[in-house]
């Protein structure tokens, strides 16, 4: 069974880049252009992962994550943030809300696939970024 990844990104070129990299690695992708469109997807089964831009129109990634976590069937879906800046306060908030990590743009395909695979293959991984890899207690 192909694992589905929801790509939430307002830049069409970045969405296309992510979709090409992920489908080339055997994932199925669905896309959303803003946080509100992510919430529309809540009517469907949760994907294996959500890749979500931090800064999007209509609703930003942090607010979309807050709302996503309030839906029982989506509460555990792993979320990996994409951001053009590594502002620590946003990352602290993302982590507190249950995000599993972040990638700073521009993103290389190899880095993207390595991060996605790490999060999907290690359910004990709580946070993944360039500085830390935190796992829950065994």
Q: Which residues sit opposite 51 in a β-bridge?
A: 7, 80
DSSP 30: E
- Other beta carbons less than 10 A from residue 108's beta carbon: 10
pTM for this prediction: 0.87
The domain that holds 46 is classified in CATH as: 3.40.50.2300
**d(Cα 25, Cα 8) in Å, to the nearest integer?**
18
DSSP 81: E
Q: Look up residue 115 and give its two tokens.
A: 């991060």
- Concatenate the DSSP letters of all residues of 47-111 into one string: PSEEEEESS-SSS-HHHHHHHHHTSGGGTT--EEEEESS--HHHHHHHHHTT--EEEESS--HHH
- Helix (DSSP H) and strand (DSSP E) numbers for the chain: 5, 7
Closest listed residue to residue 112, CA positions, set 45, 3, 24, 36:
24
Show the domain range for 125.
4-135
pLDDT tens-place values along the chain, 138 residues long? 579 999 999 999 999 999 999 999 999 999 999 999 999 988 888 899 999 999 999 999 999 999 999 988 888 899 999 888 766 788 888 888 889 888 888 889 998 999 899 889 876 666 655 544 444 434
Q: Indicate the number of domains in the chain.
A: 1
């Amino acid at each position: 069974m192909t694992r589905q990844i929801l790509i939430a990104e307002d830049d069409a070129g970045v969405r296309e880049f992510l979709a090409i990299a992920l489908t080339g690695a055997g994932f199925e992708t669905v896309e959303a252009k803003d946080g509100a469109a992510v919430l529309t997807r809540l009517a469907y089964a949760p994907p294996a992962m959500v890749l979500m831009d931090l800064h999007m129109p209509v609703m930003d990634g942090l607010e979309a994550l807050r709302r996503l976590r309030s839906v029982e069937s989506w509460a555990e879906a792993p979320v990996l943030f994409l951001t053009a800046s590594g502002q620590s306060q946003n990352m602290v908030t993302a982590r507190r809300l249950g995000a599993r990590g972040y990638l700073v743009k521009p993103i290389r395909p190899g880095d993207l696939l390595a991060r996605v695979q790490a999060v999907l293959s290690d359910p004990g991984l709580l946070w993944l970024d360039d500085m830390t890899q935190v796992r829950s207690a065994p």
